[in-house]
Chain A
């Protein structure tokens, strides 16, 4: 029974996908959207069932469907594992997924390919579920690549625009760089343990006596995979570009779920990472650096979605910082809260964009507070949450990360704190530019300003509520999440006793957030500053505005050499190789042409050759010794 249910949980979105692919065009858009939403909702409901069951008996549920790939030292089955970690992820993936599907029914209503959009979204949910509930690394890898594929399809959803397609392609390829790392990690682990099953690997590792060097290599490889998927340095550049996709996609895939797959994977493999402290250090440093760099870029972006994108990267950086410090539960906590408020923010921004008919530049917004009150308030709540204002969800989770960082390494703590302050600043910059002061767009846009329909606002409200109170799952003193995750984590999380020390840290964090807000307030409300046009930006700001020229750097360092190498191979080396290989023929032909001259037609010459031949043979045989 459970097996069937688990299969339904997995396949329900896939059924939605199939329906939308084959019949989506024939039925009305409403039905198409409804089917898409309901199938995800089914999964969500089933997840709740399983969650309840697990919460009750605490026993993870593992099933094996069929044999899949076999290599010399082990067989891989297609198996599912429903334990605490996967169910937690399932809950918010399918939950937020349902909300975003709902949102999309309205948001995408004008698009001719809406059925396709839902098909892709359903497919994404299907792959995300696969990723989460796979019982071994390779099943996870199916989901891992599958979500990458859906991300590609959805970023390039408006396929007529080639720059969107470029963004999609970039996302896919950068992900694939990570995927190669992931695969190598899988290979190393497979070689070491003769299994890729999480449970079995964990058991094998607990036996100890493993070569830490190889383990480190595996961990590093896996981390590279995580970097690609979760947009960490140096592979983060695809995520901002991925904002080319429709906003619900950005909310679902590029904020709430897919990008957290890296965190999920690292958490899943925590038993491995715990044994490799060097790699953990690297993860922490990369995370902190990503948080800082992304946040700093976010400071000056003018595209509303780009700001959110960089904020996502920055927040993911914070999560990786937590992972690197061994605080998996903290990272997971932040993933969940982040999913709430960031999804809300994206959907909110989507609502704004929807209201402005596709305008994304904040310089052309402003004063929307009155026109779109629900959007404004929900986004405000989420912004407060992300900025880390007490008592919203973000405060609790981010504070924990900072606390952990403080415990381990003061430098990391400083960096994370600065990133947090920046976050507060640019988020409020976003709010101020969008919702306060006067509208800076065209008259026509102003005329059409309106609050979005209820299908859009309902998810916003729900998410805003969650963003406000989501911190409750792991309050200091009521650490439900920590207990819940205990079975899947190796290192036991020691309880913080809330002492003066901790309160002080909380205070500092809060003060920092407030400082950021005030800074933004003084600049954008007091001074009513509106960011300059692109051409007018100069100096260091320009560098930041252009994202430190990282894309250009990559183009210069990798893409261009690759292309010119390809051109060189194609136009020079290939023909040359061909010529070299066939020089044999050319030479033979050349000799033939010359040889024809020898055949002069003169009998005298022929006789000469004859006699010389005789002479040579006789000389060789009888004279030469």
Chain B
């Protein structure tokens, strides 16, 4: 077993475990922490692929922005209690069954599928440096890039719209 493989299994284990614990822990704060761990391990995977830039961005966006937002909300709502009522048992059992079934189905399908012929691509070509990504993003993907700004704009207006108190009009 190569070190890479070991690293992969290790990271994967943590990813899955922390993801599971995110869902399973009763305290939302704990969930958030587990989620952060999960995100970090995913960043680890990115690093494993040698895409450092993406890993950084990932950490900044998810752990930095999204998780902060989550935590902020949790704090705001004062949710750090463990008093959540569970769904009825039948629902929970159903959820477990369905998810296991679904994983089994997906995995079965993928196992049964034709093995991908791993054609050796020349590893010399640069495909994931910051420069390459930047060029790609601002040339070919210029339109979606701009469009993403509209997306963010919409989200921004939306959030303002949803939270803004209305002035009673004259």
Contacts and interface: CB of A to CB of B under 8 A. Distances in A.
A contacts B: CB pair < 8 Å: yes
A618 interface: yes
A608 B101 contact: no
A604 interface: yes
B98 A604 contact: no
A611 B109 contact: no
Nearest to B109: A622
Contact of B105 (A604, A608, A615): A615
B105 A618 contact: yes
Contact of A608 (B98, B106, B108, B109): B98
Contacts of A618: 105-106, 109
B163 interface: no
B17 to A, nearest CB: 23
A169 to B, nearest CB: 73
Interface in B73-127: 87, 91, 94-95, 98, 101-102, 105-106, 108-109
B102 A611 contact: yes
Nearest to A605: B91
B91 A604 contact: yes
A225 B109 CA distance: 85
A604 B87 contact: yes
B71 to A, nearest CB: 24
Nearest to A619: B105
A623 interface: yes
Given A604-B87, A604-B91, A623 B105 contact: yes
B117 to A, nearest CB: 21
Nearest to B113: A622
A622 B106 CA distance: 10
Contacts of B94: 608
Given A604-B87, A604-B91, A608-B94, A623 B108 contact: yes
Contact of A623 (B91, B95, B98, B109): B109
Contacts of B91: 604, 608
B109 A615 contact: no
Contacts of B105: 615, 618-619, 622-623
Contacts of A623: 105, 108-109
B156 to A, nearest CB: 26
Of the four ranges (under 10, 10 to 19, 20 to 34, 35 or more), the interface on chain B belongs to: 10 to 19
Interface string A598-624: 000000100010011011001100110
Nearest to B98: A611
B49 to A, nearest CB: 28
Nearest to A618: B105
Interface in A468-494: none
A622 B111 CA distance: 12
Contacts of A604: 87, 91
Interface in B5-20: none
A611 B109 CA distance: 17
A623 B107 CA distance: 11
B102 to A, nearest CB: 6
Interface in A241-271: none
A612 B98 contact: yes
Nearest to B94: A608
A614 B102 CA distance: 9
Contacts of A608: 91, 94-95, 98
Nearest to A612: B98
A609 B128 CA distance: 40
A259 B98 CA distance: 91
A329 to B, nearest CB: 101
Nearest to B99: A611
Given A623-B105, A623-B108, A615 B87 contact: no
A62 B56 CA distance: 119
A614 B106 CA distance: 11
Nearest to B102: A615
A615 B109 CA distance: 12
Nearest to B91: A604
10 smallest beta-carbon distances between A and B, as pairs: A622-B109, A615-B102, A611-B98, A618-B105, A619-B105, A604-B91, A604-B87, A623-B105, A615-B101, A615-B105
23 contacts: A604-B87, A604-B91, A608-B91, A608-B94, A608-B95, A608-B98, A611-B98, A611-B102, A612-B98, A614-B102, A615-B98, A615-B101, A615-B102, A615-B105, A618-B105, A618-B106, A618-B109, A619-B105, A622-B105, A622-B109, A623-B105, A623-B108, A623-B109
Given A611-B102, A615-B101, 15 more contacts: A608-B91, A608-B95, A608-B98, A612-B98, A614-B102, A615-B98, A615-B102, A615-B105, A618-B105, A618-B106, A619-B105, A622-B105, A622-B109, A623-B105, A623-B108
